[in-house]
């Protein structure tokens, strides 16, 4: 099988986000970049499917800046065979990213049997790229997937919906599956894996190479700002157990009479 | 004035709450509503009350269950006949999955998970959180129309004085087309409660819960106040709770009226996921826990004694 995994590089979850001077994006100079956490599940799933289908290849594709190729090297250290990087700003909109991914995949010369992605990137939180890419490639897609089993042609996947309920889909491959936490436990890259990854092929393309231009932009962002700071709240010391009942009574009273919430 | 289609999901005999929030906010525009399948009379009345001029029920084969392909094909066919400037939907499980497909069929842009918006004339100006709420930005949509928008539930709030619409009903036959990813079965969740993303009150537990069984303490409180139970990443990673319950940057972003954080220290990624809650109560033994910087009401104390007292007090207050 030709398996593709789309990954994104995003600021670490512990990053304190600060808007840049003109408010057009965030300050990125001192950010630690990591592979989007949901994409790790996609890479792991690709490796599991590869192991179950002899002769399969796993290609990782990323659209983003070159200053750091952490996400692709991590994926290859985990076991992916090769990588494609489309050089671009890290804040392209979903439509542009999906179009770049589509054309990069087609340019690779391999027809995908399965494309895996994370369910969302934790930077812009749009949850759009897998579905846009599927529509552009005329493929079925299932998002927020927490269970995957099946053959090289037919799979059964579980999609998590409201309240932890699951939609169980029968899917004809090729298809795009967007993975959620819970689908598997991503492996750590081994030291030999990390050494080997340095020698694995990484093809670098420009946005022009994949036919994406400013005309493909669909969203225009401006005025990045921090959420309004909350005024400090009231804090009660209830470490002394004998005072707890009185304090709880007071807080519940405040919720009703001051916050008028209950 | 723009011509807007709002796609609604139905919940029993009612339209989903987020649809009514959207309709109320769109007052002054020409608003039509579309649903897949029959729209019950109660839902029709609600939709009309909140401003729907026309309510379309889309019917056809293979549409009894949701499928990304079937729903997007059906809506594409319908939208092509309507001359809409905008298509709105709630950022629900279906909305988040469906709208990117649908928008791409028109090569159009989609602003997702929008929490507030205005129109200047026909032009949409949205605000949406990024980095799960660590920051916000203004968003405009460019390129071919219609433009697509999903709205986060509970963010806009209900318009308390909506302008009613005519609420005329219409039916359209649509083709679901070929479906290659089809639901075979739906497995119910363990909870019949509202999903975290739609809940009005959330009681959440962190690492200090120590064990999955201890979540019973939170469930008792949740039962009394009608809340949904959530968890921090630390609690989920320790195996105390399933990922479906996780609130934070790698879980769900929530905006309830009341968020009660029990034994949660308040890592940046958790605060990001719950900071848009209207009122936050935090209970933690550590007086310096970061969660207290976000809490409206902080109680420094042991959750295992404080939470049962809260349950008792709410019981008395609510006469349960």
Spatial separation of the C-alpha atoms in residues A230 and A18, rounded to whole Å: 17
**Inter-chain CB proximity B140 and A233 less than 8 Å:** no
- Do B147 and B268 reside in the same domain of the chain? no
The answer to whether residue B183 scores a pLDDT higher than 80 is yes
- Pick the closest to residue A132 from A51, A56, A16, A219 (CA basis): A219
Spatial separation of the C-alpha atoms in residues A252 and B297, rounded to whole Å: 10
Spatial separation of the C-alpha atoms in residues B115 and B37, rounded to whole Å: 28
Q: Does residue B180 sit at the A interface (CB-CB below 8 Å)?
A: yes
CB distance B51 to B19 below 8 Å: no
Question: Which two tokens mark A235?
Answer: 């804090």
Cis-peptide, bond into residue B146, ω within 30° of zero: yes
Spatial separation of the C-alpha atoms in residues A261 and B9, rounded to whole Å: 28
**Inter-chain CB proximity A175 and B105 less than 8 Å:** no
- Which residues sit opposite B198 in a β-bridge? none
Interface test with B, best of A101, A127, A176 (most B CBs within 10 A): A127
B243 lies in a domain?
yes
Residue keyed to tokens 């995949």: A105
**Inter-chain CB proximity B296 and A241 less than 8 Å:** no
HSE (CB half, 13 Å, CA atoms) of B197?
22
Spatial separation of the C-alpha atoms in residues B265 and B103, rounded to whole Å: 40
Distance of CA A130 to the CA centre of its chain: 10
Q: Does residue B298 sit at the A interface (CB-CB below 8 Å)?
A: yes
- Do B242 and B145 reside in the same domain of the chain? no
- Of the candidates B180, B250, B280, the beta carbon closest to that of A122 is on B250
Which chain B residues are Cβ-neighbours of A17 within 8 angstroms? Answer: 131, 134-135
**Inter-chain CB proximity B104 and A135 less than 8 Å:** yes
* Rounded-to-10 torsion of CA A223, A226, A230, A232: -140
**pLDDT tens per residue across span A145-179:** 999 999 999 999 999 998 889 999 999 999 999 99
**Inter-chain CB proximity A166 and B294 less than 8 Å:** no
- Do B168 and B208 reside in the same domain of the chain? no
- Do B159 and B250 reside in the same domain of the chain? no
- Do B31 and B125 reside in the same domain of the chain? yes
CATH topology of domain A2-216: Rossmann fold (3.40.50)
Element (H, E) at A220: strand A219-225
Asked if this assembly's ipTM is beyond 0.85, the reply is yes
- Which residues sit opposite A160 in a β-bridge? A166
Q: What mean pLDDT is predicted for residues A13-38?
A: 93
- Of the candidates B186, B295, B306, the beta carbon closest to that of A248 is on B306
**pLDDT tens per residue across span B259-302:** 999 999 999 999 999 998 999 999 999 999 999 999 999 999 99
- Do B222 and B160 reside in the same domain of the chain? no
- Do B14 and B65 reside in the same domain of the chain? yes
Q: Does residue B12 sit at the A interface (CB-CB below 8 Å)?
A: no
- Do B70 and B166 reside in the same domain of the chain? yes
**Inter-chain CB proximity B105 and A135 less than 8 Å:** yes
> pLDDT at position A66, please?
84
CB distance A222 to B127 below 8 Å: no
Element (H, E) at B261: strand B258-262
B195 lies in a domain?
no
**pLDDT tens per residue across span A187-223:** 999 999 999 999 999 999 999 999 999 999 999 999 9
Give the pairing type, strands A154-160 and A166-172: antiparallel
- Tally of structural domains, chain B: 2
**Per-residue DSSP letter, B209:** G
CB distance A161 to A52 below 8 Å: no
B194 lies in a domain?
no
Task: Assign residue B122 the CATH number of its domain.
Answer: 3.40.50.620
Q: What mean pLDDT is predicted for residues B208-227?
A: 97
- Which residues sit opposite A58 in a β-bridge? A3
**Inter-chain CB proximity A123 and B182 less than 8 Å:** no
- Where in the sequence is the domain holding B286, given as residue range(s)? 201-318
């Amino acid at each position: 099988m030709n398996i593709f995994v789309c990954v994104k590089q995003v600021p670490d979850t512990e990053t304190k986000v600060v808007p840049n001077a003109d408010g057009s994006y965030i300050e990125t100079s001192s950010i630690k970049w990591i592979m989007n956490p949901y994409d790790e599940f996609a890479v792991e799933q690709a490796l599991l499917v590869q192991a179950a289908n002899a002769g399969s290849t796993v290609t990782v594709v990323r659209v983003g800046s070159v200053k750091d190729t952490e996400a692709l090297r991590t994926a290859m250290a985990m076991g992916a065979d090769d990588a494609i990087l489309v050089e671009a700003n890290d804040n392209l909109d979903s439509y542009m990213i999906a179009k770049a991914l589509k054309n990069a995949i087609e340019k690779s010369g391999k027809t995908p049997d399965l494309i895996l992605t994370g369910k969302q990137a934790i930077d812009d939180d749009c949850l759009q790229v897998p579905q846009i890419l599927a529509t552009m490639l005329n493929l079925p897609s299932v998002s927020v997937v927490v269970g995957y089993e099946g053959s090289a042609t037919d799979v059964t996947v579980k999609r998590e919906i409201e309240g932890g309920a699951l939609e169980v889909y029968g899917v004809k491959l090729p298809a795009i599956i967007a993975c959620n936490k819970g689908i598997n436990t991503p492996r750590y890259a081994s030291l030999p894996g990390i050494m080997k990854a340095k020698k694995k092929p990484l093809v670098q393309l420009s946005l022009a190479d994949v036919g994406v231009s400013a005309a493909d932009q669909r969203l225009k962002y401006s005025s990045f700002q921090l959420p309004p700071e909350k005024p400090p709240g009231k804090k009660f010391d209830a470490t002394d157990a004998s005072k707890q009942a009185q304090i709880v009574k007071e807080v519940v009273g405040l919720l009703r009479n001051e916050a008028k919430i209950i | 004035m723009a011509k807007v289609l709002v796609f609604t999901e139905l919940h029993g005999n009612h339209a989903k709450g987020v649809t009514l929030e959207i309709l109320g906010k769109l007052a002054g525009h020409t608003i039509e509503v579309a649903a897949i399948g029959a729209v019950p009379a109660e839902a029709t009345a609600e939709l009309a009350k909140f401003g729907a001029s026309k309510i379309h029920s889309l019917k056809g084969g293979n549409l009894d269950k949701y499928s990304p392909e079937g729903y997007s094909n059906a809506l594409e066919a319908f939208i092509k006949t309507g001359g809409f400037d905008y298509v709105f939907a709630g950022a629900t499980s279906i909305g988040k999955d469906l709208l990117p497909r649908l928008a791409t069929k028109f090569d159009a842009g989609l602003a997702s998970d929008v929490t507030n918006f205005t129109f200047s004339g026909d032009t949409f100006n949205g605000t949406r959180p990024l980095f799960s709420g660590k920051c916000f930005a203004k968003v405009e949509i460019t390129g071919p129309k219609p433009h697509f928008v999903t709205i986060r539930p509970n963010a806009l709030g209900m318009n308390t004085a909506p302008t009613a619409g005519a609420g005329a009903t219409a039916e359209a036959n649509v083709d679901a087309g070929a479906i290659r990813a089809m639901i075979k079965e739906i497995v119910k969740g363990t909870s019949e409660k509202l999903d975290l993303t739609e809940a009005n009150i959330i009681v959440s537990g962190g690492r200090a819960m120590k064990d999955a069984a201890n979540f019973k303490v939170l469930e008792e409180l949740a039962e009394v106040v009608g809340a949904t139970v959530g968890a921090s990443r630390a609690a989920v990673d320790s195996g105390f709770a399933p990922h479906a319950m996780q609130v934070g940057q790698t879980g769900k972003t929530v905006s309830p009226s009341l968020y009660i954080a029990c034994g949660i220290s308040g890592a940046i990624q958790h605060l990001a996921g719950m900071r848009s809650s209207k009122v936050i109560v935090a209970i933690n033994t550590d007086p310096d826990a970061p969660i207290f910087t976000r809490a409206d009401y902080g109680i420094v104390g042991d959750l295992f004694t404080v939470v049962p007292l809260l349950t008792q007090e709410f019981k008395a207050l609510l006469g349960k």
